Amino acid sequence: MKKNITINLLGRLYAIDEDAYELLKQYTDSLHSYFSRREGGEEIADDIEARIAELFEDLKAQGVLAITIEHVQDIIHRVGRPEEMDESPLLTSPIGEENTNGPEGNTNEPEESPSPSMGEAGKGAKRLYRNMSDRKLMGVLSGLAAYFGGDVLWWRLGFVALFFLPGGFVSRMFYWSPWHWGISINATLIILYIALGILMPVAETPEDRLRMKGKEVNPQNLADEVSQPQPTRRPDEGHMGCLGGFFFIMGTLIRWFIYFVGIVLAFTLLAGIVGLIAVMTMPHSMIHESDPTFWQFFDAHQSHLLIASVLSLGVLLIPTYCIIHSFFSEIKMLQPMGFRQRLSFLIVWIGLFIAAAVYCTGLVGKIKEAEDKSHEIRDEQYRKGNTHDGIFYKPDEWDFLSERGWRVVRADHCNDRYTSRGQYYTGRDARYIDTYDARHRQLFTIERTEDLQPGRYQLSACVRASGQGAYIYAFVDTLAENGAVYLAEIPADGNTGGGLWREAKQWLENERREHGDTIRNMELHDRMWNIAHANGEQGYGWNRITLPDILVKQPSLLHYGVSTVPSLTGHTWLGQWFSACDFELKRME
């Protein structure tokens, strides 16, 4: 069952079904559009409509109650093809122009050439359009195939193949290019596709479809194009095949992802603009002014920030609006944007982008300068607040050293680093004394002082180093006791192996050989096991060294620590780093 409607054609009423009406309207609209480029073209189109009305009248006289789409298709072919229509002065000269060849119609005189407007309308040169009747996403590849030739399937396969080619292969193909093709080829293809989708007009009318195919726009071709059924099946209806299904799924995912990103960008942008306006209009007293330098810059450049924000807003809003508009046109809530509207948006966006880039570049330079100045002020305040006895300490290092009574005496070329963690000899996370300089320049002395009674003492420590020249030392009352400095060099085993690691492995082997699986001292066993298995059972290079027989003849202060200063050790430091921990001072009876 079809719905019939009644139309008024040149004062006559005809019953026609809905499909036939749509085809007839499309054909007459195309004729009016085509002939509108010619002088007197509207009269020509009206004459053609009159001819159609006569043919409808003939059908009515034959007893046809309702005109069907088959009748309309037949009439379109009859109207578009007659020889007299192409040869008639109606189509080759302006209305009202008389024959200048005399009453006999001298055939030897050349015929008057068509007007320029007629020539333009009849040209068969191809034009580049997006083919929406055979699209998978935006109709770009289908339009390119129609313009340059070739099966659209191969265009699509080529695009997908180029998109998924490995980056290294593409780099070898385009090794001469100044671009990094191996990294940017996918992004380049996407940007190029979207740009063509924005710039290429849509082949909406039969005239556009004829120009897309390179056919001449004339009544006969218009009749053929209009009467030719256009694909109305959506890709998700009926049989598509594997390849068609793949393109449909990929196109749908990409299209909806773009819509989703556009909507999220729109809301994010609006939230950012509201926040910016709020900050720019909010009194400083309502905000915690933790960075006075920032607020000074903000106040001094408020108008510049506002201009940059407005330009950036325009740069972001235009593509966001286009994406949202495309989303609503996809769900049939808005009409798609025309080519001129898209081109206008693109020109405005390019202008805003250039203005924003130029303006913001200068502003970024000022922001960077203010930021550097602010960092310098904050760094100066930070260093001043964490300097003790003329030496800067990081807060966590100062807490560790001061709690244990350590004092840095000299720290040249130590890169503000006096401790470290992560390679403790048991493998657990513990902090220890440590310095590093890649150029072997550090002159470092750290010491601790204890009040001792007369007697003999022994000092031991766990240490490691990457080179020779680091020592643990001890002396009494700044050499006033006996003028002696006790020294022991730190072994340069690097950060693997070490005496502690070897002792732990030997201890575990002896325990296993003598007692099997029986563990006599669980705490000692666990400690030795941790040392032996540290660093993937390779150790961290730690050794225990000892200073024996430190003689104290009277109540005195003992100073001890670790140093790489040649004036104290008598040797030049040759390594990049050293570590020390677990100093232990014992009185020997």
- Tell me the two tokens of residue 230: 């256009």
Please report which confidence band the pLDDT of residue 505 belongs to, taking 50, 70 and 90 as the band edges: very high
What mean pLDDT, rounded, does the chain reach?
76
Better pLDDT: 183 or 12: 12
Comparing 76-90, 406-420, 448-462, which segment has the lowest mean pLDDT? 76-90
Nearest to 461 by CA among 569, 588, 584, 586: 584
Exposure letters 389-413 (e unless 16+ CB within 10 A, then b): eebbbeeebbebbeeeebbbbbbee
Whether 572 contacts 470, CB under 8 Å: no
d(CA 264, CA 256): 12
In terms of DSSP H, where are the helices of 36-175? 41-61, 69-80, 83-87, 89-92, 116-122, 140-148, 152-164, 167-173
Kindly list the domain boundaries of the chain, sorted by start residue: 4-96+115-122, 132-242, 245-383, 392-500+539-588
For the chain, state the CA radius of gyration: 45
Please report which confidence band the pLDDT of residue 98 belongs to, taking 50, 70 and 90 as the band edges: very low
pLDDT in tens, 314-352: 887 787 777 777 777 767 787 777 777 878 888 998 998
Tell me the three state secondary structure of residue 200. Answer: coil
**pLDDT value at 122 more than 50:** no
d(CA 200, CA 115): 29
Nearest to 255 by CA among 333, 351, 326, 318: 326
pLDDT in tens, 177-228: 444 444 456 667 777 777 777 677 777 666 677 777 767 666 656 555 655 5
Please report which confidence band the pLDDT of residue 251 belongs to, taking 50, 70 and 90 as the band edges: low
Nearest to 55 by CA among 29, 31, 75: 75
CATH topology (fold) of 392-500+539-588: Jelly Rolls (2.60.120)
d(CA 27, CA 222): 8
Better pLDDT: 358 or 295: 358
pTM score: 0.48
d(CA 41, CA 36): 5
Tell me the three state secondary structure of residue 344. Answer: helix
Q: How many CB atoms lie within 10 A of CB 237?
A: 8
